[in-house]
Structure 1
Amino acid sequence: MAGKNLDPSSSPRALLGAELRVAREAAGLSQAELGEPLFVSGSFIGQLEAGTRRMHIEFARQIDNILSTNGFFVRNCGALAKSKYPNHFAEAAEAEAEAKTIREYAPLALPGMLQTEAYAREVFIAYQPTATDEVIGELVANRLHRAKLLANPTTPLLWCVIDETLLRRVVGGTKVMAEALRHVASLIRRRRIFVQVLPFAAGAHSSMGGTLKLMTFDAAPPLAYVQGNAMGVLLDDPATVARHSLTYDLLTASALSPSQSLALIESAAEDYEHDQHA
């Protein structure tokens, strides 16, 4: 193992993951064998190596000891610790950037990657009513930065189920809502995303507990992310991810078809536009 630090201008997680794979294989250990003394699964080690999960300092110390890498991983954890996102969401955001597919259920607000600047600003002000304009501006900028993932014409494939509540809850006024829904409709019409609306008529459903995000990757096991108020958990246990995947499948079965959903979204946008003119 080279003693020199990684270049932080590159992709730190990907580089560190590649170095971890080299060091593990040089030590003659499988992913599961390295994970055992860390009390994590082999799939977790695979996600570290693929760069879809961040290596935390406590793991770095143990890995340096197990693989005799002379403090290499501890020294290079600093680049990974820096994130523009809140601690509870940082790992999920990093995984999002590497994902091949993202499936998301949003019950309360439009998914972050689909929000307009005005809509995101109103959401953050509601979450943090005492924050300064500078703080709110930085939060909004980071959210819009995430949305740049959709500039790629095909990857990631994004499939969202949104609750009808999102269409009826007026965030920031009728002008903000009309703009936000027209933006979502535009992405759908460009065939960049898939969206289904879960209508009020669906009644009780499989994800009454809150938000859900499922991500798949080319070279790593899938992940699930569940989120609450100022908290979130990234899950990699295969059985748990499979259970959440079934939850999402049941949501899509209860939701309106994509074409019906688009019609409802555009109808709601038109209603908000009409209210403005009235």
Structure 2
Amino acid sequence: MRILMTGAAGKVGTLLRPRLAREGRTLRLSDLQAVETGPGEEQVVADLADPAAMTEAMKGVDAVVHLGGQSREHSWADIVHANVNGTQVLLEAAREAGVRQLVLMGSHHAAGFHTRPADGTELPDYAFPRPDTFYGVSKVVMEALGSLYHDRFGMNITVVRLGTCNEGSLDTRGLATWISPDDLARLVEAALVAPGYHVVWGVSDNARRWWSLREAEAIGYVSQDDSEPRAVALIAEHGEPDLADPVHARAGGVFTLKELGGRW
């Protein structure tokens, strides 16, 4: 089996590569820059928005894990080129190559202005898009493109509304939004065989989680990690989270505030 991983040089790609390695599996690593390959890996340097480059990258591929694009808030033109046009070019190249299984790495910023339900219930998997940035808008478009390519062309596509992925939660917000790299790999593995179209939250089963795991679990994801072991140290350093503060009350946290480096 050959899996094309776009954005392989990025943080999430770097965390996932060793965790997706399997006997009989080849990871084809794609990025704008060369990536040093290891056993079971090969590379292709390509711009997501270049149709010819993506057609070449898709040859012999069985599935796609799409991590590539502009990973931070940027100018509208840059976001559209990398995240909107790039995703559409990727999907079209996959369709033309007959690739039917894709995992698209979306973001919680597609729903950033959603707040914690006052009744203590969880934020649903398919919560209506409420993007908090241009970046978030691009991830809404990713979800829409995934839906289109599933409905029109029958491709199996899972979009992951990714939370905070690090080796360990770095702050008290992450106690709710964190997903361990191991859990993310488990979620990707489940998505690589899931039929249909799905939007799932990319989060571990944290004790303080308020994003639903129902849809992720429906496709076979079983979280084995929890941020709570980090809670004592983080709370000692930063204090107990104020759940009325937008940083903790909104899915997008600080990115829902007006003070974003003068971009707004």
TM-score by length of 2: 0.31
Give the structure with higher Rg (CA).
Answer: 1
TM-score by length of 1: 0.30
- The one of the two structures with greater contact order (alpha-carbon pairs below 8 A, sep at least 6) is 1
